[in-house]
Structure 1
């Protein structure tokens, strides 16, 4: 992914030196890594809270999902000083992709489970 970002920065700033392109690429990669780490930590908390049956879990998970979508959209659409998007479209879309799983997880968390039905042949049937 670093090569893709580096090529994108170089194309957007053809007069930039190799050192400047390398620095910009590193900054983007560190930022993306930090966002990813925050996402993993938040979903880890969400999983632990769900398993523990905490009452605030749906609200926490919904908030985390909204923040994740906002960050993903920002990465996809933010404009650089040259007028182009700050990141290549592929990187932006890949950053937004985990939000699809987040939307599904939040939807499943808010759905109330149906009452269990007895199995045929079970004494309670």
Structure 2
């Protein structure tokens, strides 16, 4: 490694963090359902894709605390990035919806999407 090169590591953890950021999408897919796959297959698969990244992150945190795996990070400058979160949510969620609100599942999915946006924009 050359002088000045930064090795950040934690590739798997980053992957799981990105996966967990998509969790609301999987939950909305479970609520909406699809015609091509039966619900008894689709819903458990979406719920697993929703819950698994959080379980993995909890396990990683548990292991790090148990092994006293500590790393000191010096922060020189920080700024608020909350406005980007709302943009991210809309970019991820809006393409999943059409104007069809004919069924109860569609209405529930849109309601959950609105709750996600309200929850994330309020933090």
Q: TM-score range by the shorter chain?
A: 0.3 to 0.5
- Relative to the length of structure 1, the TM-score reads 0.38
- Relative to the length of structure 2, the TM-score reads 0.38
Q: Higher RCO, 1 or 2 (CA under 8 Å, sep at least 6)?
A: 2
Tell me which structure has the larger Cα radius of gyration: 1
